[in-house]
Amino acid sequence: MTTFSTRRWILSAGLLALLSGCGGDADTEAPARPAWVVQASAQGAAPTAYAGEVRARHEPALAFRIGGKIARRQAEVGERVKAGQALAELDASDVALQREAAQAQLASAEADLALAKSELDRYQQLLDQQLVSRSLFDARKSQYDAAEARVRQARAQARVSVNQADYAVLRAPADGLVAQRLAEAGQVVAAGQSVFVLAEDGPREVAISIPEREASAFAVGRPLVVELWSLPGQRFPGQLREIAPAADPQARTFAARVAFDPGDAVVDLGQSARVYANGGDHAVVTVPLSALYEKDGAAALWVVDPAALTVSLRPVQVGAYGESGVPVTAGLQPGEWVVAAGVHLLLEGQKVRPIDDENRPLQLTAASAD
């Protein structure tokens, strides 16, 4: 009995010691988490970026001047063509028949004119000999004038038929690239129906769409900046060349064209581009994209207290994302310190050990936050 009591006492003492040890660990403060910290910088107004596409300034839609069936297509999309080069041909059989008919009408009219001229000359002689009346001569003169008019008409019709034969061949009006093909061989097209779209050589520009809430800030001639996706970081001066007078009824945006000078850079049609519009002269605070934290669907930042070295989650408002940073339009002051990486591993009030992007310790002071 004494042995059992002794064992129970020893077990109780062991549990007490174990619990005392656990309690001591709970009271020990957790080590500060290393955190890459950056100082929010104030820069010029964040530019607004508009996605666009490089286009030719002149992009005429090419069409036959007469209707008919396309017999042959002689150009493909993306093909470079020269001015005057044939792009497509219509079936010319009907055009050839019309040309023959016009030539026959001209020959008939010329024969009638020759006969009317002969009759007029004969009546002139008879009139001179006073063998016919003046009224009969005038009648022959009217017949001659009518025959002469019919010849002029037939000649004009013959020239039209020759032109019609030329119109059966669709030719490039200038050097350029075939941007679109809108009809196929064997298809019957009407006069004026677009068959190709040609991107003429010459100036290039960027086609963009401007939201209607921002359109009032854009006027023709406004300076802009163009950046090509194929040349990241290289920006070219440009200006707004034209803007549509009315918004697209579905997208509610205004189509606009931005002219720019690419210098010696190679600019391919259709490549993506960005157009930047300066937002103003006020300063904007920017932070790295990796610093953003989402809470309840809204943007937030982990702000570091430089004295206590603790973090607190602060809701902020942000602007359009850039390539490496994002403007903070409300909720953060220039010079404040924010955690730039590992933001999903932090807790409210947690202590951090500030480091830079090279894992070197950072000293945060109130003075450095100004």
Name, in order, each residue with C-beta under 8 angstroms of 221's C-beta and a sequence gap of 6 or more: 239, 240
What is the per-residue pLDDT across 281-322, written as a single tens digit (0 to 9) for each?
445 688 888 999 998 888 999 999 999 999 999 999 887 776
Please give the C-alpha separations between residue 38 and each of 123, 192, 358, 367, in angstroms, as whole numbers: 111, 62, 12, 15
pLDDT at 43: 64
What are the residue boundaries of the structural domains of the chain, listed by start? 33-44+283-355, 59-90+174-199, 92-168, 203-276
Locate 64 and state its tokens.
């036959």
- Higher model confidence: residue 75 or residue 3? 75
CATH class for domain 203-276? Answer: mainly beta
pTM of the model: 0.53
- Pull the structure tokens for residue 340: 């730039």
* DSSP category for residue 190: -
Q: Is the pLDDT of residue 155 over 50?
A: yes
Q: Which CATH number fits domain 59-90+174-199: 2.40.50.100, 3.40.120.10, 3.60.20.10, 3.80.10.10?
A: 2.40.50.100
**Per-position DSSP letters for 135-157, written without gaps between them:** HHHHHHHHHHHHHHHHHHHHHHH
Percent of the chain with pLDDT over 70: 86
| Span between the terminal Cα atoms of the chain, in Å | 76
**Among candidates 231, 85, 96, which has minimal Cα distance to 170?**
85
Tell me how far apart the alpha carbons of residues 238 and 274 are, in angstroms, rounded to a whole number.
11
Of 45, 53, 158, residue with least CA distance to 100: 158
Cβ–Cβ < 8 Å for 170, 87: yes
pLDDT (0 to 100) of residue 47: 65
For domain 92-168, which architecture applies?
Orthogonal Bundle (1.10)
Which top CATH class is 33-44+283-355?
mainly beta
Which residue(s) pair with 259 in the sheet? 205, 239
Average pLDDT, the chain: 84
For 24-67, what is each residue's pLDDT tens digit?
444 456 688 999 999 887 765 556 889 999 999 999 999 999 99
Say how far apart CA 271 and CA 226 lie, in whole Å: 12
How far apart, in Å, are the Cα atoms of 347 and each of 29, 97, 302, 303? 15, 88, 9, 12
pLDDT one-digit tens code per residue, 232-241:
878 899 999 9
